[in-house]
Amino acid sequence: MIGSGIFMSAGTVLALSGGALLPALLIWASCGLLCLLAGVAYVELSCVVPSAGGEFAAMLHAFGPLHEFLGPLPAFLYAWMTCLVSRPANTAIQSLAVAEYCVQPWFGAECRPPVLAIALVALCANTLSAFINSYSVRLTATINNLFAAAKLVVMIGIVAGGVYFIVRGGTRHLTAGMPSERVSIVDLTAAFYTCLWAYEGWNNLNFLTEEMSNPVRDMPRALFIGVPLVTVSYLLVNTAYLTVLSPDEVIATPAAAVAFAEHALGSAAGLLIPLCVALSVYGTLNGTIMASSRLSFTAARAGHLARPLALLQTTSRTPAPAIIFNTLVSSAMLAYGDFEKLITFASLTVWIFYGLAMVALLVMRRTWPDAPRPFRAPTAVPWLVLVMAVLLMAVPLVNGPRLDHLAVLVFLVTGVLVYWRCVYRRRPSAGSQRLTLLLQKLLLLAGQH
């Protein structure tokens, strides 16, 4: 759950909340609470639909029987938008974060590195991770486990440094009051998008339901321990930044941990924290590509995406076409290059479907009233999360939609057309079979048996 967000988003959230610490911390805490409430609803969903398909399975079970055409559409759109928009955007964001922390220390906290250098390093990180994922599942898992330790080193180091500087009297920037300028609802929504992206991963347990021996016991326990722990960690790290840096310094750099390390440890010793951040985010990138490719593979096997994505490499037994597909889409998004706009692009997409998941829960309470529910969320919880999801979707679209907002709508409409032709009417592309055979020969691919 702890990824690149806390290392890349602090300045953005601080700027959007008026440059004062207290409003920024309130936004971080509110987003943690919203994810906790959504997680409570997801636990009930996983009890009613104990499938590894996550939101896809829940929407298919809830809406599928209601209408021949419209029923399966939300589940298809979830797979379509996740594989084409949100997961590749997350991959691009994490690649940019790796690049930022690899390149920024060589230019110093006061100087921005060239955009082209960031983009090229991000492309290299993305391509290398795709190669590792295609080569070996075991190597991928090993890298993920090793680099996960770097996150703990960085978080503990930053918080410990913050405590040290508070004891030494570094509280000048912590006592700043409320923002001097009024914060608009659009800025507040953008701040929520940025924070909520940093909490992404709270719903991953729903993909592991079938593998748990006792999900009714383990999922609430993991949720009520994990999300509050991450929330407190994020609050402490944001506070620690301002024991050394001024709000303007945090806002000015997308790599706040680099500036913190240079001010706290000096330019030479300050390379340690950026290196650990880069390694930890690279581990997250590796895991994101692994999960994204499996989702594309599963959706293609169910007939919701192109057939070649359901093939495996015969030697490594990895879903190489799905990995290549995700890498190509995410690499194209790197050309966009804007970290904040990519976050909005991804966050708007996922919260559309988090809202639909709440609708699925409410629908199944009426259509499946007798289904086993060993864990039941309070009735107000799914309604509250649904209202927040609608607000997060509506505010940017009503108050001057940007190109990235409209792009999400274009992808959704395109998905409906693809669903009508290729899934509902079952008319795949004429070249699909030829492309499948060509890829099988070039990459030594085969279907799963």
Where does 168-310 have alpha helices with state H?
185-198, 215-244, 247-252, 256-265, 272-301
Please give the Cα distance from 358 to 145 (Å, whole number): 33
Q: Would you say residue 211 has pLDDT above 60?
A: no
pLDDT at residue 449, as a whole number? 52
Q: Which residue has the tokens 């996550």?
A: 54
Q: Name the band, by pLDDT with cuts 50, 70 and 90, for residue 120.
A: very high
Q: How many domains does the chain have?
A: 1
What pLDDT does residue 20 have? 86
Q: Which residues are CB-neighbours of 417 under 8 A, at least 6 positions away?
A: none
Give the mean pLDDT of 215-240.
90
Give the C-alpha separation, 270 to 419, whole Å.
51
Distances (CA, A) of 192 to 165, 249, 305: 29, 21, 31
Query: Quick one: pLDDT at residue 138?
Result: 85
Domain encompassing residue 404? 5-446
Average pLDDT estimate for 389-399? 87
Distance CA 409, CA 44 (A): 30
Measured between alpha carbons, how far is 259 from 249 in angstroms, rounded to an integer? 8
Does position 269 have pLDDT exceeding 70, yes or no? no
Q: Determine the pLDDT at residue 294.
A: 78
pLDDT at 13: 93
Q: What is the pLDDT of residues 18-75, one digit of tens each?
A: 888 889 999 999 999 999 999 999 999 988 888 766 788 889 899 999 998 999 999 9
**What is the per-residue pLDDT for 173?**
79
Query: How far is it, in rounded angstroms, from Cα 402 to Cα 395?
Result: 12
Measure the CA–CA gap between 75 and 297, rounded to whole angstroms.
15
Q: Phi and psi at residue 302, in whole multiples of 5°?
A: -85, 0
Nearest Cα residue to 55 out of 359, 382, 287: 359
Q: Mean pLDDT throughout 347-370?
A: 94
Flag the least confident range among 34-48, 99-113, 222-236: 99-113
Ranking 180-189, 226-235, 374-383 by mean pLDDT, the lowest is 180-189
pLDDT in tens, 27-39: 999 999 999 999 9
Which CATH number covers residue 198? 1.20.1740.10
Q: How many CB atoms lie within 10 A of CB 70?
A: 11
pLDDT in tens, 138-169: 888 888 888 877 788 888 889 999 999 999 88
Q: Are 274 and 101 within 8 A, CB to CB?
A: yes
pLDDT tens profile 295-329: 788 778 777 777 787 788 777 788 888 898 899 99
Identify which has the larger pLDDT, 94 or 217. 94
3-class SS of residue 399:
coil
Taking the whole predicted model, whether its pTM rises above 0.75 is answered as yes
pLDDT at residue number 253: 81
- pLDDT over threshold 80, residue 175: no
